[in-house]
């Protein structure tokens, strides 16, 4: 006797019950958007506060540089009655800020040029050529980032004294170059790795030597990285104080950072505060102008160099 199985009706798929407040995806989306909005709002408030903390002292310094000494002392938060342009003339001439400004430009013209050329050549070799000890040499350069400047002040002072370079423009420029090379080489190595190597290979096939490939092809292609590192090193070397304080003892060859310190000490026994604030503005404005003009180039260059750093 055969047994015929009875037809079994298919059971419908279980449908999850929905809460009364609406679909779960809608509730989760509302919570996520509310959280994002709260985090974004808090971030914007913190950024506004940070901007005020940075910008307000700078604006107050500019305003104070146009005041008389009496206005600076008795009404530090009020606007100046008349703009005292003589403060800048006294700071430039009598306080010798103009001389210190020229000294800084002389040193930095040598140090920036040397830093960019040497670091570009070293980074190109480290990124494009395979040789024994390449990685060891690269990590030796990186080791320079581990040591603070003040640890090398004593041996540097003795070394420059033995070489008769103490108090000279080129001696201080060489120290600036050595101080700036580790990070610049590290950055430029990653930047050269991000450039296409087919162009250099095609140039070598066409008969170009390695010097022509570097100076005529690869160096122009690395212009964005060079500009970024030029701005980065310009700001760092312009604000450098410890190295010139130790290695540039001659007052006639003071840099701006030393001149400002010397002027601030003098104002402890004088009352020309208007010239002091004017000197501060003269010192800070060049770095601000450079950063504002080249901000996008700096950001794009740093981003490109970070791709294969």
Decide which of 297 and 10 is more confident: 297
The alpha carbon of residue 43 and the mean position of all alpha carbons in its chain are separated, in whole angstroms, by: 23
Give the integer Cα–Cα distance in Å for 44 and 191.
Answer: 33
User: Which sign, positive or negative, has the C-alpha torsion 301, 306, 308, 309?
Assistant: positive
CB 63 within 8 A of CB 80: yes
What integer is the mean pLDDT of 25-38? 65
pLDDT value of position 300: 66
DSSP 95: S
Neighbouring residues of 1: CB distance < 8 A, sequence distance ≥ 6: none
pLDDT score recorded for residue 6: 45
Backbone angles phi, psi at 20, to 5 degrees: -65, -30
| Separate counts of helices (H) and strands (E) for the chain | 15, 0
pLDDT recorded at residue 308: 47
Residue 25 confidence class, pLDDT cut points 50, 70, 90: low
In this prediction, residue 8 carries a pLDDT of 44
Distance from the Cα of residue 87 to its chain's centroid? 30
Which letter, b or e, does each residue of 243-275 get, where b requires 16 or more Cβ atoms within 10 Å of its Cβ? Answer: bbebbbeeeebbbbbbbbeebeeebeeeebbbb
pLDDT of residue 29: 58
Q: Which two tokens stand for residue 153?
A: 């002040």
Least confident of 84-88, 108-112, 159-163, 205-209: 205-209
Please name the CATH architecture into which domain 86-305 falls: Orthogonal Bundle (1.10)
List the chain domain ranges. Answer: 86-305
- 268: confidence class by pLDDT, cuts 50, 70, 90: low
Least confident of 3-12, 29-38, 189-198, 201-210: 3-12
Q: What is the pLDDT of residues 188-217, one digit of tens each?
A: 998 898 888 888 888 888 888 888 889 988
DSSP 3-state of 226: helix
DSSP for 113-127, written as a single string = HHHHHHHHHHHHHHH
Is pLDDT above 80 for 108?
A: yes
Instruction: Please state which of the ranges 28-32, 65-69, 179-183, 305-309 shows the lowest mean pLDDT.
Output: 305-309
Lowest pLDDT segment from 42-46, 62-66, 105-109, 296-300: 296-300
DSSP 76: T
Total residue length of the chain:
309
pLDDT of amino acid 305: 52
Alpha carbons 301 and 289: distance in angstroms, whole number: 18
Lowest mean pLDDT among 195-199, 232-236, 278-282, 291-295: 291-295
Check whether 294 has a pLDDT greater than 80: no
Output DSSP code: residue 14.
Answer: P
């Amino acid at each position: 006797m055969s047994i015929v199985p009875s037809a079994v009706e298919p059971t419908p798929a279980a449908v999850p019950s929905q809460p009364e407040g609406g679909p779960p995806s809608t509730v989760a989306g509302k919570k996520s958007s509310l959280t994002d909005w709260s985090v974004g709002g808090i971030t914007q408030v913190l950024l506004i506060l940070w901007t005020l903390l940075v910008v307000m002292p700078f604006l107050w310094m500019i305003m104070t540089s146009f005041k008389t000494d009496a206005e600076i002392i008795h009404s530090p938060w009020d606007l100046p009655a008349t703009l005292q342009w003589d403060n800048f003339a006294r700071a430039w001439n009598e306080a010798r800020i103009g001389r210190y400004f020229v000294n800084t430009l002389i040193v930095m013209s040598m140090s920036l040029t040397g830093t960019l050329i040497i670091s570009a050549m070293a980074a190109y070799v480290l990124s494009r050529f395979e040789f024994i000890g390449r990685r060891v040499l690269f990590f030796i350069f990186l080791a320079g980032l581990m040591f603070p400047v003040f640890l090398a002040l004593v041996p540097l002072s003795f070394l420059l004294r033995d070489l008769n370079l103490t108090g000279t423009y080129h001696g201080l420029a060489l120290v600036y170059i050595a101080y700036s090379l580790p990070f610049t080489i590290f950055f430029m190595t990653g930047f050269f790795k991000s450039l296409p190597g087919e162009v250099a290979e095609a140039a070598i096939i066409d008969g170009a030597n390695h010097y022509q490939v570097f100076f005529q092809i690869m160096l122009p292609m690395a212009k964005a990285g060079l500009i970024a590192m030029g701005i980065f090193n310009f700001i760092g070397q312009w604000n450098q104080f410890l190295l010139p304080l130790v290695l540039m003892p001659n007052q006639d060859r003071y840099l701006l950072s030393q001149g400002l310190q010397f002027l601030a000490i003098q104002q402890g026994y004088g009352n020309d505060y208007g010239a002091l604030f004017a000197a501060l503005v003269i010192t800070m404005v060049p770095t601000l102008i450079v950063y504002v003009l080249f901000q996008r180039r700096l950001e794009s260059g740093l981003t490109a160099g970070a791709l294969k750093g």
